[in-house]
């Protein structure tokens, strides 16, 4: 069981590094997907090992994947809009709200 | 015949790097795992797990470290397929199917479309920002803390139990009916919103 959790931890850390290091919006999105997948692994591990009668974690993983798909569609719409306005998908180009 | 194909130098370097990695890292890794399995230290499930873990981590590293955006997106597919295998190991066939369909199909196609429509002419070297070393340190520290906490804790031992399809459906629709409906609402609002945001303006009015 701790093997699965360790794998998900490694995956989450890699995605976290990607979110911080990447500057292209779509690459950041890819890293966010990695983090979401790590969370799904965690949910399912706990559900099948510790709570096999009610398996609530599996339901949560289904919802997580659903929301991830919706998020990717919406985020790509925003990125396309940003690209059309600024000519780049670099997130550093959109810093008007930065204090 | 092959030598006559004009490879761009960048692709050439990528192939060389891949070959070096395959020979230098993957082969010893597979060898060690198989030797341990032959000695009886590892069960079949453990061998499958370590193979899948290597595939997933390699795919995730490719997605995060690759300077070529299309390579990053395709590495995400590799990682997603490995994760589907992990779901199979965890006795959740339905989640594995959903993972392959949603990530392997939908999300990747969307990401590739996004890359095609935005990043086509962008210099690959601007994909990473100046805070890379800092991000590396933070990511490494966080990974170390998470893995240490998870591997160091004592969990209630046991085997993963199979979650039957039928019971999963009953529970999803009976106990989680309202969240299910809200999720479908979120999906349709998100997709309509994506269309509304990404739509090309007619005769210049701001939408």
Model confidence over A50-97: pLDDT tens digits? 877 788 888 999 999 999 889 988 888 888 888 888 777 777 777 777
pLDDT at A23 over 90: no
- Please tell me the predicted confidence (pLDDT) of residue B70: 82
- Please tell me the predicted confidence (pLDDT) of residue A24: 82
- For chain B, give the percent of residues with pLDDT over 70: 84
> How far apart, in whole angstroms, are the C-alpha atoms of residue A66 and residue B63?
21
Model confidence at B1, pLDDT cuts 50, 70, 90, reads very low
> How far apart, in whole angstroms, are the C-alpha atoms of residue B84 and residue B96?
4
Say if the Cβ atoms of A22 and B129 lie within 8 Å: yes
Backbone angles phi, psi at A49, to 5 degrees: -90, -45
Chosen CATH of B2-162 out of 3.40.640.10, 3.60.15.10, 3.40.50.720, 1.20.120.1200: 1.20.120.1200
Query: Is A50 inside a domain boundary?
Result: yes
Burial class (CB in 10 A: 0-12, 13-18, 19+), A61: buried
Which of B135, B150, B191, B206 is best to mutate for the A interface (most A CBs within 10 A)? B150
> How far apart, in whole angstroms, are the C-alpha atoms of residue A63 and residue A44?
12
What range does the domain containing A11 cover?
2-88
Q: In sequence order, what E strands does B6-130 have? A: none
Model confidence at B124, pLDDT cuts 50, 70, 90, reads low
Query: Is A19 inside a domain boundary?
Result: yes
Question: Which chain A residues have a beta carbon less than 8 Å from that of B118?
Answer: 25-26, 79-80, 83, 89
Check if the beta carbon of residue B76 is closer than 8 Å to that of residue B63: yes
What's the pTM value of the predicted model, to 2 decimals? Answer: 0.84
Mean pLDDT over residues A18-30, rounded? 86
Rounded (5°) CA angle B85-A57-B62: 40
pLDDT at B121 over 90: no
CATH code of the domain in which A39 resides: 1.10.287.3510
Per residue in B74-89, pLDDT (tens digit) is 899 999 999 999 998 8
Model confidence at B2, pLDDT cuts 50, 70, 90, reads very low
Question: Which chain B residues have a beta carbon less than 8 Å from that of A65?
Answer: 95, 98-99, 102-103
Say if the Cβ atoms of A18 and B83 lie within 8 Å: no
Say if the Cβ atoms of B79 and A77 lie within 8 Å: no
Q: How many CB atoms are closer than 10 A to CB A96?
A: 5
- A11 interface with B at CB cutoff 8 Å: yes
ipTM computed for the complex? 0.88
Give residues 15 to 34 of A whose Cβ lies within 8 Å of B. Answer: 15-18, 20-27, 29-31, 33-34
């Amino acid at each position: 069981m701790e093997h699965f959790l360790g794998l998900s931890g490694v995956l989450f850390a890699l995605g976290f590094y990607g979110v911080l290091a990447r500057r292209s919006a779509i690459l950041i999105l890819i890293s966010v997907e990695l983090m979401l997948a790590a969370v799904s692994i965690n949910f399912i591990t706990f559900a099948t090992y510790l709570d096999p009668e009610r398996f609530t974690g599996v339901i949560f993983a289904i919802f997580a994947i659903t929301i991830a798909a919706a998020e990717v569609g919406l985020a790509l719409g925003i990125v396309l809009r940003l690209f059309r306005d600024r000519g780049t998908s670099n997130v550093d180009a959109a810093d008007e709200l930065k204090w | 015949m092959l030598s006559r194909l004009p490879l761009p130098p960048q692709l050439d370097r990528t192939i060389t790097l891949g070959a070096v990695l395959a020979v230098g890292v993957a082969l010893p890794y597979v060898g060690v795992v198989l030797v341990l399995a032959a000695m009886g230290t590892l069960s079949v499930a453990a061998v499958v797990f370590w193979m899948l873990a290597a595939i997933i981590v390699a795919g995730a590293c490719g997605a995060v470290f690759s300077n070529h955006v299309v390579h990053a997106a395709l590495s995400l597919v590799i990682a997603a397929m490995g994760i589907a295998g992990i779901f199979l190991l965890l006795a959740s066939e339905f989640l594995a199917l959903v993972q392959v369909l949603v990530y392997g199909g939908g999300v990747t196609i969307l990401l590739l479309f996004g890359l095609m429509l935005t990043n086509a002419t962008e210099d690959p070297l601007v994909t990473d920002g100046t805070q890379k070393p800092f991000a590396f340190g933070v990511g490494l520290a966080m990974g170390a803390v998470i893995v240490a906490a998870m591997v160091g804790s004592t969990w209630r031992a046991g085997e993963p139990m199979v979650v039957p399809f039928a019971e999963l459906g009953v529970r999803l629709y009976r106990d989680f009916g309202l969240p299910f409906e809200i999720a479908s609402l979120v999906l349709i609002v998100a997709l309509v919103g994506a269309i509304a945001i990404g739509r090309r303006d007619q005769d210049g009015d701001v939408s």
